[in-house]
Amino acid sequence: MKIIVHIDLNAFFVQCEILSDPSLRGKPVAVGYSGSRGVISTSSYEARAKGVTSGMPVSQAKRACPELILVPDHFALYRQYSNRFFTYLKNRYPILEKASIDECYIDMTNNIEPGKEEEYLFDLQMSLYKATGLKCSIGCGANKFLAKMGSDYKKPLGLTIINKDNIEKILWPLPIEKMFGIGKQTAPKLKELGIETIGDLALTQDPKVKRALGNLFPYYQGEANGYGNDVVDTSLFVPKSISAERTFSSDATSYEELKDMVRSCCEDIVSELVKYQKEALTVSVKLRTPDFVTKSKRALLPQPTDNLGELYSAAMSLFDRTYKDQPIRLLGIGVEKVQNKGEKKKTEASLPEEPLWKEEKK
C-alpha cells in the first residue's frame, strides 16, 4: 500500500503578503481589487472568522468586516514563494506532482516507515515552515483522494491521516459538498435524493442516485469508501484549460470597449499557451450582465492554435453571437482541449454549446 501525501499552503496569497509586510500579521487581511466590482481572491483566517470568503464581492466583505485590510495582488511575489516551496520539496522527494501554484501530491512510500506517518509529516511541516516561512496543511492516505481530503480537513497547519481504520469517523460524517470532485451543481441534486454526507454516498444503492451520477457513480462511491488513484504524475504541470476575464468598474456599454477587452483576454491566454508550448482546440466566451445573468458559448476551432489572430477572430465571432447590446458587468474568454503544440487534432464526437467554465476558488 502506498503512502500518498498532499501538501496545501494555507491562505497562500495572504501568507506572501504578510511575509512581505509583517505588520499585517494577526489582522483580517484579504487580497483583492478595491474597485466597486472587485472580489476577494483569498483572505486570512482572521478575516474568514468574520465571514470574508474567496469570491465574495469586496463591498460585501467590507460590510461583514469593516476593519478588513484589502491589499492588491502581487503575482510576481507569489511565484517567488511558490518556487521556494517546490524547490524545497523537490530536493527531498523525486515523486512529486504539482497540482497548482500552492499545492502538490508526493509519493512518500519509500520515505516513511508505515505507522510513523504522523511524526514524520509533523517534522516536515515544521522544517518547511522554517525554510520558507510558509505554513501548510498536510493530508496523508493510500491514494490522492484521501490525501487531498486530509489536507482540507484541518486548516491552518492541519495534519490528518485517513486510513481504513478511521475513514468512517473522519470522512463519512462530512457534508457531501465537502467531497473533493463533487461540484456546486451536483451536491444539491444529491441532497435532494437524501445524500447529505459522504457516508451516505458510500453506502447508498439508490437507483435514483445512480442515475444522477451516471457512469461516475462507481468512481465517486469508490472514493467515498477509500479507493482511488495512487499514481503521482511527475511530468511537468501544464494547464488543461486557460481562461482570462475582466470585471468592469462600471457596466460596459461600448462595443469598442468590449471588443478591446476580448483582445486583451486573448492576449493573456496566448501568452500562457506559448509559455507551456500548447495549442487550444476550443474557445469560449462568457458575458455577465448587471443582474448577474451569465451567458456563454463555446466553439470548436478549425485547428489547434496558439495564434493570437486566429483565437481573437474566433472569440469575436462567438462574442457577436452572444452580445445583445446590453450592459456588461463581466467578460471572459477561455480555451479548453489544450494539447501539445503540433499534436494531431483530437477527434470530437460532440461539443456542447455551453462551456465548462471554471470559476476561480483562490
Which residues are catalytically annotated? 103
Q: Give the distance, in angstroms, between the CA of residue 235 and the centroid of all CA atoms in the same chain.
A: 19
Bridge partners of 299, per DSSP, are 283
Alpha helices per DSSP H over the chain:
12-20, 45-48, 58-64, 75-90, 117-132, 144-153, 167-170, 186-192, 198-203, 207-213, 217-224, 255-275, 308-322
**Local structure of residue 24 (DSSP, 8 states):** G
Instruction: Give Cα separations from 267 to 154, 243, 308, 355, 358 (angstroms).
Output: 39, 11, 7, 20, 19
- Strands, sheet with 103-107, edge to edge from the N-terminal-most edge strand: 96-100, 103-107, 4-9, 136-141, 159-161
Supply 162's cell numbers: 485517513
Q: Give the distance, in angstroms, between the CA of residue 348 and the centroid of all CA atoms in the same chain.
A: 26
- Contact assessment for residue 31 and residue 42, using Cβ atoms and an 8 Å cutoff: yes
Q: Are strands 136-141 and 4-9 parallel, antiparallel or unpaired?
A: antiparallel
Amino acid identity for residue 218 in this structure: P
Supply 264's cell numbers: 486583451
Bridge partners of 31, per DSSP, are 42, 71
Residue 304's Cβ-count burial label (10 Å; 0-12, 13-18, 19+) is buried
Instruction: Give Cα separations from 175 to 164, 178, 201, 209, 215 (angstroms).
Output: 19, 5, 10, 16, 22
Bridge partners of 71, per DSSP, are 31
